[in-house]
Amino acid sequence: MSNTKHPATSETAKADPAWVKWLDRRTGIRSLLHEALDEPIPGGARWAYIFGSGLLYLFLSQIVTGIFLTLYYVPSSDHAHTTVAYISKVVSSGLFIRSVHAYGASAIIILLIFHISQTLLYGSYKGRRDLLWLSGCVLLALMLGMAFTGYLLPWDEKSYFASAIGTNLIGEVPLIGPSMQELLRGGMQMGTLTVSRFFVLHVFILPGLLFAFIAMHIFLFRKKGAAGPIQEDPYTPKLPTQGFYPRQVAMDMAASLFIVLALALVAHFLPIDLGPRANPADTSYIPRPEWYYVPMFQWLKIVSGRWSLIGGIVFPAFLALLFAAIPFLDRGRERRPWRRPVVVASFVIFIGSYVALGVASHRDDARDPSVASQLALQKQAEINYMRQPFQAQATSGTTSASLATSNPLVTKGATIYEAQSCSACHGENGTGTAAAPALVGIDRKYSADQLAHLLHHFSPKMIQGGMPAVDLDPADTDALVAYLRSLK
Ligand code: HEC
């Protein structure tokens, strides 16, 4: 195990090539590398230690895929869904990247569970590592916040109703709940302000805090060093050490490579769905949260009613505090799990209950035939929606200029429609007036060519109705036809 040769230390400095010396005199790169790579690990490298760097890798992956998604995404209730549909259906590899981002969130939760379990079972929070543990608790909360705020952004039925429940729960908190809920939603109802607030949290505030706390977490970890295996003394390590480089680095990189492959395979073969646009008036929709929130959801169902205050708020807050306080309560030098039965048993009971609640929720849904059929319907609606080609959808806006169009041709056509006064008879957005019928849905009646032909060769009824001749060059005709066919 003992391997105390440090490849980046000063013993080898004389052998360094001239450019390394040049760089080192200016940047101190050699001691920097020494700090980063020669971190001594008591007892040597192990596969059990890969979770932390796996999480770091996933965080970076979320940033890269997230930046890509932000290139297209528009945070407003009018445009969010259309832009996510555009990413999923039109942008090349868009659905893949979106899936990697969405599954990446789940992967972070899974790795967090492993990382926390390992720390707890190994008693690695001991030996003045309490602040390290606390910064980890903050990171856990921030990550759950990221999952919560990201979920709403696609603004489909699923995300809208799940977030409605989530923000309702926040409103239940005594005293500060209602104002916190209003702050988060940007009002009493969920709308554009909610989307933009969740977006700002998801893209600026929480990632900023994550950066700060990840830096603190890594700094504190490096300060106290790795705790090593369970028989190691947490204060003064006695086992022979091994540098972080090369074996642990290789293991961490292999683990990250495995994560990349697993994410890519799942994202490719099971791309995530986007459901139809959220319809707040839909009263039949039954929302279900993401899998990691399902146990909490089930728990709240159980304690609803008379016990909701104690069960839904006081008890979870108590559990969270207890969790954060573990290093202050379990203070001995003993790290072997079988000698720390209270901490280990509590943790096992917690994980067991978490799984049991999740299973119970699925069982309840499967047993209730009306719920099961409604959930199946919702799933089918998602699949059907994903099969439809992308459509730039008209929004609640009143003028044609406010159409949510990602297609410049359609936008141009809308201007021509206004300029040619077509709206005088066919109405704003082609909804029809007494003088002329609606043009909405005209794409089902005529193909683009037929429509272009019709505009230059009027039917008898159009002549009778006094429709003025359309005098447009081919390019403008194309734009007008594209606009007419986009009217839904
Ligand atoms: C003076 C009123 C008037 C104006 C202005 C007008 N239309 Fe019409 N339009 C009509 C009437 C009347 C019909 C025939 C309705 C029918 O078939 O019953 C018609 C028919 C149509 C149809 C065929 C609809 C169908 O279902 O077969 C299209 C397409 C159309 N108009 C497009 C336009 C466009 C584009 C403009 C602007 C360049 C325009 N119209 C301007 C009165 C008007």
The answer on 409 and 368 residing in a single domain is no
Q: Assess whether the C-beta atom of 436 lies below 6 angstroms from ligand 1.
A: yes
Question: How many separate domains does the chain show?
Answer: 2
Q: From atom 1 of ligand 1, which residue's Cα is the shortest distance away?
A: 467
Q: How far apart are CA 430 and CA 481, in angstroms?
A: 12
Instruction: Give distance in angstroms: CA of 475 to centre of ligand 1.
Output: 20
Instruction: Give distance in angstroms: CA of 79 to centre of ligand 1.
Output: 30
Segment holding 356, helix H or strand E: helix 341-367
Residue whose CB lies within 8 A of the most ligand 1 atoms, among 433, 462, 477, 481, for a mutation test: 462
The answer on 426 and 363 residing in a single domain is no
Q: Assess whether the C-beta atom of 480 lies below 6 angstroms from ligand 1.
A: yes
The answer on 459 and 431 residing in a single domain is yes
The answer on 168 and 271 residing in a single domain is yes
Walk along the chain (488 residues) and give the pLDDT tens digit of each residue: 444 444 444 455 567 889 989 999 999 888 888 888 888 888 888 888 899 999 999 999 999 999 999 999 999 998 999 999 999 999 999 999 999 999 999 999 999 999 999 999 999 999 999 999 999 999 999 999 999 999 999 999 999 999 998 888 888 888 888 999 999 999 888 889 999 999 999 999 999 999 999 999 999 999 888 888 988 888 888 888 888 888 999 999 999 999 999 999 999 999 999 999 998 877 789 999 999 999 998 998 888 877 878 888 889 999 999 999 999 999 988 999 999 999 999 999 999 999 999 999 999 999 999 889 889 889 998 988 898 888 876 544 433 344 444 577 888 888 888 888 888 888 888 888 888 888 988 888 888 889 999 998 998 989 888 898 888 888 889 889 988 988 87
Residue whose CB lies within 8 A of the most ligand 1 atoms, among 425, 443, 450, for a mutation test: 425
pLDDT at 262: 97
In a domain, 330, yes or no: yes
Instruction: Give distance in angstroms: CA of 38 to centre of ligand 1.
Output: 78
In a domain, 478, yes or no: yes
Beta bridge partners of 277: 156
The answer on 234 and 135 residing in a single domain is yes
In a domain, 463, yes or no: yes
The answer on 475 and 330 residing in a single domain is no
The boundaries of the domain holding residue 300 are 39-382
The answer on 120 and 51 residing in a single domain is yes
In a domain, 133, yes or no: yes
How far is C-alpha 87 from the geometric centre of its chain's CA atoms?
Answer: 15
pLDDT at 1: 42
Instruction: Give distance in angstroms: CA of 395 to centre of ligand 1.
Output: 23
All residues at 6 or more sequence positions from 87 whose CB lies less than 8 Å from its CB, including other chains: 69, 72, 73, 94, 95, 97, 98
In a domain, 471, yes or no: yes
The answer on 203 and 153 residing in a single domain is yes
The answer on 320 and 223 residing in a single domain is yes
Instruction: Give distance in angstroms: CA of 434 to centre of ligand 1.
Output: 12
The answer on 227 and 89 residing in a single domain is yes
**Which CATH number fits the domain that encloses residue 286?**
1.20.810.10
- CA nearest to 337, candidates 133, 139, 134, 125: 125
